[in-house]
Every structure is written in structure tokens, then in C-alpha cells.
């Protein structure tokens, strides 16, 4: 499908040609796609007749339920300040969740410019934290619009966030210590000063060692902070620490092979929700798991994309209805 036809498809899906579709597919899109590690079919390769059928289905899309709030605001200073000006009660928390969606592609501290546009559909979840259904960020510096829609792929256990072109917004670690997780809730480069990578997952989710090594410590340090924990030394001297576990499945001094289950995700120690804190150290230095492991970025397949486009229509229509109402 040509770029012009992609723009037309997006305009129809949005219910309005008023949205700045020219930013969505920037000239550097091809370079970004080339860097993705998992080769699948992109949405532009979808048969045109199939795509048109999906657009027709969107005409019958149900309206967004009242539990969702739609916010559209120009960047004034920081993202948090922008949400405060938009009278959002939990502006700081929403800013943090919003930033995690796009941190892989844009430096949210340095790249945001006055006049950039943020759009978000969110609700407050049962845990009291913001739950984002869809988000868009129009960046003047990068000359494009970043998108994120919450959607559960058929083969996945949990929902994830996907851009309009079918690329997952977050990267995933190669040989990850946890295969199934809901969200990555903390990164070393997110500005929080956190020393590990946090994976939100239900209690009891299995965690494994990505490399073979020796279990050097079990339940070390202060339980009040670490909870149940394991430390494994890889052959290159890197120490991998697993914190806040529900149950430990290995013993101190044991040698484990790559892929061995070391424990189950929990909510022990200084933890506010079930998650795995995964930390890497080399001597006194803290390593970033993203750099150490390397990452992959998934893309939706040709067979999956029509369902994705159909399901996110309610979000796109709600965002563009907000734009029209402000004109």
C-alpha cells in the first residue's frame, strides 16, 4: 500500500481528516523498521480490499465508555506541568505512565518542545494508578506523530501497546528473565534513578536465568527492602539480582543452566505491586539490562493487523472527536 493510501486509511479510521496525518509516517520510518529484529509483515502490506473492509466495520464502532477520560493539550513546560494545567488529578502518575510508552523512541526530558501536542485516553485502574488506553504525541523535533494503543495480541497473555503501524511500542529483552509480563514499569534511563528493570506480572509468574551461572546468594540483604531474592553470577562476572519474589526455586551454591527457573514473581519486601526487579551489577557498576541483553521489537502479522485496526477504532474516533470539538 502506498504512503498516500496509508494516509487516507488513517484519516478514515480517525473519522476526520483534520488530524495531521503527514507526521505519522516520517521519512525516517524505513530506517526505524530496518532496525527491528523480528521480520513480519507490516500493515502497509495488507491487501487493500481487506483494509477497506476493516474501515467499513469502524463505522459501526461503539462509543468510548464513560470511565475513560480524553485529554488533549499542547506542551507548555514539562509533561507533568502540561497535565497539571489540564486539571488532571494524578498528573505526575499519568506523566510517568505516558512517558514509558514513548521512552524507547524519544527522550521525554530533552526532546519535548513547547507546542508539541499530547493526547491521551486514560482511566484510573483498580490499583489507583492511571491506565492508558491510547496516546499520541506530536513531536516537532522529530517531525512525526508517535502513537500507542493498548491491545492484546492473540498469542499474548497480556495486553501490550502498539503503534498505528503495528509495531510494539516497547522493546523486549533478548533472553529475558521473564517471558510473560504486563508492563515494564521502570527502566534505568527513565530518570527515576532506579537501579533495576521492573516487570509488572502476577504473583507466581516464572522467572528464569538468561545465562548459566552460580547461585551466589539467596535472601540476602534486608528482607524489608529486597523481599525474597536471588543472586546469580554469570561466567563473565556479571551479577544478576532478582528481588521481591514470592518463592525461591534454587539453592545457594547451586549451578544453573540458562533457562532454569529461579523463582516466582511476588510482592515481598519494599514492593507496591507484584513485579520482578531485575538488576545487573559488574563490580560496583550497575549495568543497564537493555544494553547488556540487547532487545527485539515485535510487529503484528498480516493476519492479525485487521483485528487490531478494527479494535483501536474506538480510541482513534474518540481522540479525533476531541480535536473537532475544540475547533
- pLDDT value at residue 251: 97
In a domain, 231, yes or no: yes
CB-based burial of residue 171 (10 Å sphere; 0-12 exposed, 13-18 middle, 19+ buried)? buried
| CA dist., res. 184 & res. 166, Å (int) | 19
Q: Is 212 found in the same domain as 124?
A: no
In a domain, 160, yes or no: yes
Residue 309 CB partners (closer than 8 Å, separation 6+): 13, 43, 51, 54, 55, 58
Q: Is 254 found in the same domain as 215?
A: yes
44 or 277: whose pLDDT is higher?
277
Q: Is 207 found in the same domain as 141?
A: no
Which cell numbers hold the place of 6? 496509508
- pLDDT value at residue 309: 95
Residue 7 has pLDDT above 50, yes or no: no
Residues 75-126 have pLDDT tens digits of 988 899 999 999 998 999 999 899 999 999 998 888 999 989 999 999 998 8
Positive or negative, the CA dihedral 115, 132, 150, 175 is positive
Residue 70 has pLDDT above 80, yes or no: yes
Residue 46 has pLDDT above 50, yes or no: no
Report CA dihedral (43, 314, 92, 173) to the nearest 10 degrees: -30
In a domain, 278, yes or no: yes
Number of domains in the chain: 2
Q: Is 283 found in the same domain as 319?
A: no
pLDDT tier for residue 1 given thresholds of 50, 70 and 90: very low
Q: Is 224 found in the same domain as 320?
A: no
Q: Is 93 found in the same domain as 232?
A: no
Q: Is 130 found in the same domain as 23?
A: yes
In a domain, 175, yes or no: no
CB-based burial of residue 7 (10 Å sphere; 0-12 exposed, 13-18 middle, 19+ buried)? middle
Q: Report whether 146 contacts 139 (CB < 8 A).
A: yes
In a domain, 176, yes or no: no
Lowest mean pLDDT among 128-132, 186-190, 286-290: 186-190
Residue 189 CB partners (closer than 8 Å, separation 6+): 103, 288, 290
Residue 262 has pLDDT above 70, yes or no: yes
> What's phi and psi for 116, nearest 5 deg?
-60, 155
- pLDDT value at residue 19: 38
Residue 31 has pLDDT above 80, yes or no: no
Q: Is 112 found in the same domain as 259?
A: no
Place of cell 549451578: 255
In a domain, 22, yes or no: yes
Q: In this structure, what CATH number is given to the domain that contains residue 107?
A: 3.10.450.350
Residues 146-171 have pLDDT tens digits of 999 999 999 999 999 999 999 999 99
Q: Is 192 found in the same domain as 164?
A: no
| CA dist., res. 90 & res. 132, Å (int) | 13
Q: Is 79 found in the same domain as 135?
A: yes
Mean confidence (pLDDT) of the chain: 83
In a domain, 117, yes or no: yes
Q: Is 242 found in the same domain as 121?
A: no
Average pLDDT over every residue of 256-285: 96
pTM over 0.85: no
Place of cell 506523566: 95
In a domain, 166, yes or no: yes
Residue 305's closest CA among 3, 13, 25, 4? 13
Residues 222-247 have pLDDT tens digits of 999 999 999 999 999 999 999 999 99
Residues 183-224 have pLDDT tens digits of 898 888 877 778 999 999 999 999 999 999 999 999 999 999
- pLDDT value at residue 59: 41
Instruction: Give the residue numbers spanning the domain of 197.
Output: 183-295
Q: In this structure, what CATH number is given to the domain that contains residue 276?
A: 2.70.70.10
Average pLDDT over every residue of 10-16: 43
- pLDDT value at residue 62: 61
Q: Is 19 found in the same domain as 158?
A: yes
- pLDDT value at residue 76: 87
Amino acid at each position: 500500500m502506498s504512503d498516500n493510501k496509508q494516509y487516507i486509511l488513517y484519516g478514515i479510521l480517525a473519522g476526520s481528516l483534520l488530524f495531521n496525518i503527514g507526521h505519522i509516517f516520517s521519512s525516517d520510518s524505513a530506517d526505524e523498521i530496518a532496525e527491528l529484529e523480528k521480520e513480519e509483515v507490516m500493515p502497509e502490506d495488507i491487501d487493500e480490499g481487506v483494509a477497506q473492509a476493516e474501515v467499513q466495520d469502524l463505522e459501526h464502532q461503539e462509543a468510548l465508555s464513560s470511565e475513560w477520560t480524553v485529554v488533549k493539550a499542547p506542551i507548555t513546560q514539562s509533561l507533568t506541568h502540561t497535565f497539571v494545567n489540564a486539571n488532571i488529578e494524578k498528573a505526575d502518575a499519568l506523566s510517568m505512565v505516558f512517558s514509558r510508552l514513548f521512552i524507547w523512541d524519544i527522550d521525554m526530558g530533552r526532546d519535548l518542545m513547547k507546542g508539541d501536542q499530547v493526547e491521551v485516553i486514560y482511566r484510573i485502574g483498580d490499583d489507583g494508578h492511571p491506565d492508558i488506553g491510547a496516546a499520541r504525541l506530536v513531536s516537532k523535533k522529530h517531525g512525526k506523530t508517535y502513537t500507542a494503543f493498548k491491545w492484546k495480541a492473540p498469542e499474548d497473555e497480556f495486553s501490550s501497546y502498539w503503534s498505528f503501524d503495528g509495531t510494539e511500542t516497547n522493546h523486549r529483552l533478548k533472553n529475558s528473565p521473564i517471558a510473560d509480563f504486563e508492563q515494564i514499569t521502570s527502566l534505568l534511563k527513565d530518570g527515576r534513578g532506579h537501579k533495576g528493570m521492573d516487570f509488572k506480572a502476577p504473583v507466581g509468574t516464572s522467572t528464569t536465568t538468561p545465562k548459566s551461572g552460580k547461585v551466589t546468594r539467596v535472601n540476602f540483604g534486608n528482607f524489608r527492602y529486597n523481599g525474597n531474592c536471588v543472586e546469580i553470577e554469570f561466567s563473565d562476572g556479571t551479577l544478576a539480582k532478582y528481588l521481591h519474589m514470592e518463592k525461591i526455586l534454587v539453592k545457594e551454591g547451586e549451578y544453573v543452566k540458562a533457562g532454569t527457573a529461579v523463582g516466582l514473581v511476588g510482592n515481598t519486601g519494599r514492593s507496591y505491586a507484584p513485579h520482578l526487579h531485575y538488576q545487573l551489577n559488574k563490580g560496583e557498576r550497575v549495568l543497564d539490562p537493555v544494553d547488556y541483553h540487547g532487545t527485539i521489537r515485535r510487529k503484528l502479522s498480516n493476519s492479525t493487523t485487521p483485528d487490531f485496526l478494527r479494535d483501536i477504532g474506538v480510541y482513534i474516533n474518540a481522540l479525533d472527536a476531541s480535536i473537532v470539538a475544540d475547533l
